[in-house]
Amino acid sequence: MSTYFVIAEHLQGALTETTFETLGAARALADATGGEVVGVLLGHGVQDMAGQLAAADRVLVADHPALEHFTPEAYNAALEPLLQEHQPRLTLFQNTAIGMDLAAYLAARLNWPLIAYCNGLRAEDGAIVTTSQIYGGKVFAECRLPEGPGMVTVLAGAFPAEAGQAGDAPRVETVSVSLDGLRTRFEELHEPEAEDVDITKADVIVAVGRGIQSEDNLELAEELAQALGGVVAASRPIVDAGWLPRMRQVGKSGQKVKPKLYLALGISGAPEHVEGMKDSELIIAVNTDPNAPIFDVAHYGVVADLFDVAEALLERLED
Amino acid sequence: MNIVVAVKQVPDLIEELEINEEGTGLDPDVLSFVLNEFDDHALEEALLLKEEAGATVTVVGVDTTGELDQALYTAIAKGADKAVKIVGDFEEGERMPTPIMARLLADAIREMDYDLVFVGVQAADDLDGQVAPMLAALLGLPHVGVVVGVEKADGAVKVHKEFWGGITADVLVETPAVLGIQAARQAPRYAPVSRVRQAMKEATIEEIEVDDLPEAPDASVCRMFIPEATGRAEMLEGDEEAVAGKIVEILKERGLV
């Protein structure tokens, strides 16, 4: 029987949405191949969380003080013997700040194949066929995992979370772990600093990406946002450049937003960004590249220079 | 303190991408390459540490494009002390699977004197996993990824790791260690062309030649394709005036203006 391991992720006492999405994807594979889904939960005092992994047949819980907070070293040290012992057909991680620290490390340690950025999974004649989104979302790659154990990291939002939340309470088993000689120590978790603007509460967001070109040009975005009664947000590169505060960042490592209007200016729409804004009620995107993936998620698209459109729009709104 | 920064080049995503005839990868003939942007951040963070705490910065990469020199000389122009390129009979311009690249890098870095290895947290083409954690596993070192700042401590570094929603953590890691850098504390510096030219004249790039590719687990790509536009977006045509007019109409219909 094929076994599918799902490595559960949690932060600040709550399992992540992506964990359930991944669990649901594993459930579908197991149902198609007559396999078993095993949730793996690492932490300290997390027994109660195990029962929430409803789509799993059973959950292995590794409880240890060194696992209370996430560090890649402790998590990997706990997971490696577990995977070695069980040799699951497929181990599913999330393609997140946690899963990315685990999967590639364990793949190299165990000498197992790994497919990252996975947004599609299916069983085909006993093989597992994966689809991944690479090159900034511009290209899809289909891979076939050879027989024997393999791993994937699953993109957030690729599968419905509901499928992972459905099912009877799983059987919970405790596994012992020994974690000695760790060279990594968790020190402190930092909550984001409160900012004057909370983009998650805004009805209208004017979001800028690389296309804005310079910090000075943010003024135009700011004027447009004001005319629309909204706020300015950005994709990662703009925040990394220091042009806007971290709390204005939309995407995987930033904020998830669902405004009434998301006006994307000069944003190509890499999966990391789309993850944070795809549920907006109305998305209008302006980009010079007609093939930009942002047009796959937008409701309305304009292939044009963002400055031309923004200025024309501003004039009209101010009339 | 010695910091090794592992870099690679990736296709420039600004350019239009084409799939090769076999449908298994990008067509290398039409690609242009740029330094992986996250590796640029890894280099920047290393240079910041060098300025603050004193360090020797060595940049190393596998030359899969035949054009890595440019990136290495630029790194030297920015302040790196030494550059090493790994050369061999590689398929020029083809994507090198991460498990193979990580093994080549690990073999080279193992021979170096280092306290820290910095690598960009990810790259646009690392379909089969990210370099940094694989490198750590192969070198037997602790690793932290998605790092947005590094501070020197006693026999260790304090790293600032990012989760999501603005949540971050401080983690203390004993050196030697491998760090996957998401973003340096400041935007990567710019190297003036004159400095790059000077580096090309004065600096030498050390070469490590490999004969055979290492064995690594492989999940072969059966098919690579450019997804057809789902056609979700209704495209607004016309000049900017016309487009602006249409947008305002849409917003009015929805009571947004």
| Residue A263, number of CB atoms within 10 A of its CB | 32
pLDDT of residue A128: 94
In a domain, B162, yes or no: yes
Q: Which domain holds residue B69?
A: 2-209
Q: Please compute the mean of the pLDDT values over residues A8-15 and round it to a whole number.
A: 96
Question: Average model confidence (pLDDT) for chain A?
Answer: 95
What's B177's domain CATH number? 3.40.50.620
Interface residue A115 vs chain B (CB under 8 A): yes
In a domain, B230, yes or no: no
Q: Please compute the mean of the pLDDT values over residues B26-31 and round it to a whole number.
A: 92
pLDDT of residue A253: 85
Top pLDDT among B14 and A172 is at A172
Bridge partners (DSSP) listed for residue B3: B57, B116
Q: Where are the alpha helices (DSSP H) in chain A?
A: 17-33, 47-50, 72-86, 99-110, 162-165, 218-227, 236-240, 271-277, 294-297, 306-318
Determine whether the interchain pair A104/B168 forms a contact, defined as Cβ–Cβ distance below 8 Å.
no
In a domain, B147, yes or no: yes
Using a CB-CB cut-off of 8 Å, the residues of chain B touching A153 are 129
pLDDT of residue A118: 97
Q: Which of residues 2-61 of A touch B (CB under 8 A)?
A: 11-12
Confidence class of residue A208 from pLDDT cuts 50, 70 and 90?
very high
Q: Does residue B15 have a pLDDT over 90? A: no
In a domain, B102, yes or no: yes
Q: How far is B125 from B176, CA to CA, in rounded Å?
A: 27
Q: Does residue A196 have a pLDDT over 80? A: no
Question: Which tokens go with A27?
Answer: 């459930």
- Structure letter (DSSP) for residue A264: E
State whether ipTM is beyond 0.85.
yes
A41-92 pLDDT per residue, tens:
999 999 999 999 999 999 999 999 999 999 999 999 999 999 999 999 999 9
Interface residue A215 vs chain B (CB under 8 A): no
Sort strands B2-7 and B116-120 into parallel, antiparallel or unpaired.
Answer: parallel
User: In this prediction, what percent of chain B has a pLDDT beyond 70?
Assistant: 99
Q: Does residue B2 have a pLDDT over 70? A: yes
DSSP secondary structure string for all residues of A87-131: --SEEEEESSTTHHHHHHHHHHHHT--EEEEEEEEEEETTEEEEE
pLDDT of residue B115: 98
> What is the number of domains present in chain B?
1
Q: Please compute the mean of the pLDDT values over residues A193-217 and round it to a whole number.
A: 92
> Which among B254, B95, B114, B65 is positioned nearest to A135, based on CA atoms?
B95
Q: Please compute the mean of the pLDDT values over residues B95-124 and round it to a whole number.
A: 97
pLDDT of residue B219: 76
Bridge partners (DSSP) listed for residue A128: A123, A145
Q: Please compute the mean of the pLDDT values over residues B205-211 and round it to a whole number.
A: 97
The partner residue sitting opposite B256, judged by closest CB among A11, A204, A242, is A204
Mutate to test the interface with A, among B247, B249, B250, B253 (most CBs of A within 10 A): B247
Single-letter code of the amino acid located at A82: L
pLDDT of residue A256: 93
Determine whether the interchain pair A101/B11 forms a contact, defined as Cβ–Cβ distance below 8 Å.
no
B163-179 pLDDT per residue, tens:
998 899 999 999 999 99
Q: Mapped to the 3 state alphabet, what secondary structure does chain B carry?
A: CEEEEEECEEECCCCCCCECCCCCCECHHHCCEEECHHHHHHHHHHHHHHHHHCCEEEEEEECCCCCHHHHHHHHHHHCCCEEEEEECCCCCCCCCCHHHHHHHHHHHHHCCCCCEEEEECCCCCCCCCCHHHHHHHHHCCCEEEEEEEEEEECCEEEEEEECCCCCEEEEEEECCEEEEECCCCCCCCCCCHHHHHHHHHHCCEEEEECCCCCCCCCCCEEEEECCCCCCCCEECCCCHHHHHHHHHHHHHHCCCC
Provide the greatest CA pair distance for chain A: 70
The partner residue sitting opposite A253, judged by closest CB among B136, B162, B169, is B162
Mutate to test the interface with A, among B240, B241, B257 (most CBs of A within 10 A): B240
Integer angstrom CA distances of residue B9 from A211, A224, A276, B95, B220 = 22, 37, 27, 10, 21
In a domain, B107, yes or no: yes
Going from N- to C-terminal start, the domains of chain A cover: 3-175, 199-318
Q: Please compute the mean of the pLDDT values over residues B31-36 and round it to a whole number.
A: 96
Q: How far is B143 from A270, CA to CA, in rounded Å?
A: 26
Determine whether the interchain pair A184/B132 forms a contact, defined as Cβ–Cβ distance below 8 Å.
no
Q: How far is A170 from A17, CA to CA, in rounded Å?
A: 18
Q: Does residue B226 have a pLDDT over 70? A: yes
Q: What would be the CATH architecture of the domain defined by A199-318?
A: 3-Layer(aba) Sandwich (3.40)
> Which among A54, A92, A28, A65 is positioned nearest to A172, based on CA atoms?
A54
Q: How far is A4 from B69, CA to CA, in rounded Å?
A: 44
User: In this prediction, what percent of chain A has a pLDDT beyond 70?
Assistant: 100
> Which among A97, A132, A137, A236 is positioned nearest to B98, based on CA atoms?
A132
In a domain, B203, yes or no: yes
Question: Which tokens go with B188?
Answer: 């990567």
Determine whether the interchain pair B167/A191 forms a contact, defined as Cβ–Cβ distance below 8 Å.
yes
Give the three-class secondary structure for A313.
helix
Q: How far is A71 from B158, CA to CA, in rounded Å?
A: 13
A255-296 pLDDT per residue, tens:
999 999 999 999 999 989 999 999 999 999 999 999 899 999
pLDDT of residue B231: 66
Bridge partners (DSSP) listed for residue B159: B150, B171
Whether domain A3-175 has CATH 3.60.10.10: no
In a domain, B235, yes or no: no
Question: Average model confidence (pLDDT) for chain B?
Answer: 95
In a domain, B239, yes or no: no
Determine whether the interchain pair B245/A316 forms a contact, defined as Cβ–Cβ distance below 8 Å.
yes
Determine whether the interchain pair A115/B11 forms a contact, defined as Cβ–Cβ distance below 8 Å.
no
Q: How far is B73 from A99, CA to CA, in rounded Å?
A: 34
